[in-house]
Amino acid sequence: MTATFHPVSSGAAVRMIAGREITTRLRSKAFIWTTFALVAGVVLGGVVLNIVSSNGDQTRTVGVTSSAAAASEFVGSTAKVADVSVTTTAVSDQAAGEAMLRDGTIDALITSTDPLTVVVKEAPPASLAPVFASVAQQLALSSAVTDLGGDPAQVAQQIAAAAPTVTALEPPPERDSAQIVAGFVAGILLFVTLISAGQLVAQGVVEEKSSRVVELLLATVRPWQLMAGKVLGIGFIGLLQVVVVVAAGAGTAAALGLVDGSNLDLGTTALWAVIWFIIGFTTYALALGALAALVSRQEDVASVTAPVMTLMMVPYIIGISIAPWDPTNPLVVALSFVPFCAPLIMPVRIALGEVAPWEVAVSLGLSLAVIPALVWLAGRIYSNAVLRSGGRIKLRDALSAG
């Protein structure tokens, strides 16, 4: 069937198609629930990370009776060296201290220094066990120094100040858990949103083709305008989803103090995640939309778009399995410059602070340079295949037709 074409300005046509897609998708329960699930997952992940990190940094309280007051200084200095957060509190007597142990006010009670005697409710916390062992040794040493006529305080000060000088030939880069988590989450979020939005484009193309709605639309707009409007509209929906999820994640991290003292630049990481989504979506949507035009049934969409989906899986797997832990790996670095791969790997490297500005610029330039060629190629395939119904059209025929 040949469509009768009535000219419409390119801008108006693209806006009309894009507006139609935006309105339809915003009313979709699938979009609403997917966005809700992603936001809930990001927020819940932030809460869990905060709980885990809080438990790891929990401050322990040690009660000290008046008869063991000398142990307070040793506990404080030893805990500092062991990087354990400990506070000591004076307790009037052992009975009062045991009452505080039972109600959880303190985690341990020191009642004597000769020998060091510690009372706990059930078992000493794992972080305090090595502290108490070291304090017992220091108290024994202090007693021996006193017996020999020396000054225990001076000896203890010298021991505390003693530390080895370590020189690393290849020191690892400074990277904290917040950066690793941000890189990991960025990789997963971009993959989920890209694949979801890309599939919407492919399914939309086939839906219009199978219902013959496309024939009515092409009576008013040109094929490339229909394709551009669909990509633009669904791209806006996908971008909206990414912005909402990224904002939820950034807000959660800021509210819970997950990036306090971190090397992570949260604002820059979030901005680059949005930028790379736009580039990645444009790249994949054009390819998926063009390939989807080759078939007329939803059941055939998966088979015709499988090569692109497979291509998307490669950088995704590398981006979450290697990049967060080893962002300077030669394979990770190389793929971060390759169009189709860069949108899923470069944001991870940016989050980890392991990429120079010139690398981002080169990667961005290469990915943008591919888009005009994809626009031409996708437009040709779509124009030649979208009005042909029946069985699957060969890619070669779609390229050579017209």
Instruction: Report if residue 21 sits inside a domain.
Output: yes
Q: Give residue for tokens 């009313």.
A: 27
Residue 89: the pLDDT is 82
Instruction: Report if residue 163 sits inside a domain.
Output: no
CB burial string 268-284: b at 16+ within 10 A, e below: ebbebbebbbebbbbbb
Count the neighbouring beta carbons within 10 Å of the beta carbon of residue 232.
18
Residue 27: the pLDDT is 81
Q: Examine the domain organization and report whether 228 and 204 are in the same domain.
A: yes
Q: Give residue for tokens 């790891």.
A: 56
The whole-angstrom separation of Cα 53 and Cα 49 is 6
Instruction: Report if residue 84 sits inside a domain.
Output: yes
Q: Examine the domain organization and report whether 314 and 238 are in the same domain.
A: yes
Instruction: Report if residue 182 sits inside a domain.
Output: yes
The whole-angstrom separation of Cα 326 and Cα 354 is 9
Q: Examine the domain organization and report whether 36 and 94 are in the same domain.
A: no
Q: Examine the domain organization and report whether 264 and 333 are in the same domain.
A: yes
Q: Examine the domain organization and report whether 210 and 334 are in the same domain.
A: yes
Q: Examine the domain organization and report whether 187 and 103 are in the same domain.
A: no
Regions of the chain short of the pLDDT cut 70: 1-9, 49-58, 81-83, 143-178, 211-212, 214-219, 257-264, 401-402
Residue 171: the pLDDT is 64
Q: Examine the domain organization and report whether 228 and 242 are in the same domain.
A: yes
Last residue of a domain, one of 99, 123, 141: 141
Instruction: Report if residue 44 sits inside a domain.
Output: yes
Domains contained in the chain, number: 2
Q: Examine the domain organization and report whether 249 and 387 are in the same domain.
A: yes
CB 291 within 8 Å of CB 385 = no
Task: Provide the CATH number for the domain around residue 62.
Answer: 3.40.190.10
Q: Examine the domain organization and report whether 84 and 197 are in the same domain.
A: no
Last residue of a domain, one of 141, 160, 195: 141
Q: Render pLDDT for 208-263 as a digit per residue (tens, 0 to 9).
A: 777 667 666 666 777 777 777 888 888 888 888 888 888 887 777 777 766 655 56
Residue 368: the pLDDT is 94
Last residue of a domain, one of 99, 116, 141: 141
Residue 2: the pLDDT is 47
CB 243 within 8 Å of CB 197 = no
Q: Examine the domain organization and report whether 243 and 288 are in the same domain.
A: yes
Residue 335: the pLDDT is 93
Q: Provide the domain limits for residue 235.
A: 10-53+175-400
Q: Give the CA distances from residue 387 to residues 9, 77, 193, 219, 402, in Å, rounded to whole numbers and listed in that order.
A: 22, 79, 29, 12, 12
Alpha helices in 162-265, H assignment, sequence order: 177-210, 213-217, 223-255
Angle subtended at Cα 313 by Cα 200 and Cα 281, rounded to the nearest 5 degrees = 40
Instruction: Report if residue 170 sits inside a domain.
Output: no
Q: Examine the domain organization and report whether 89 and 235 are in the same domain.
A: no
In this prediction the pTM is 0.66
Residue 336: the pLDDT is 93
Q: Examine the domain organization and report whether 132 and 240 are in the same domain.
A: no
Instruction: Report if residue 101 sits inside a domain.
Output: yes
3-state DSSP assignment of residue 358: helix
Q: Render pLDDT for 135-180 as a digit per residue (tens, 0 to 9).
A: 777 777 776 666 666 666 666 655 555 555 555 556 666 666 667 7
Instruction: Report if residue 284 sits inside a domain.
Output: yes
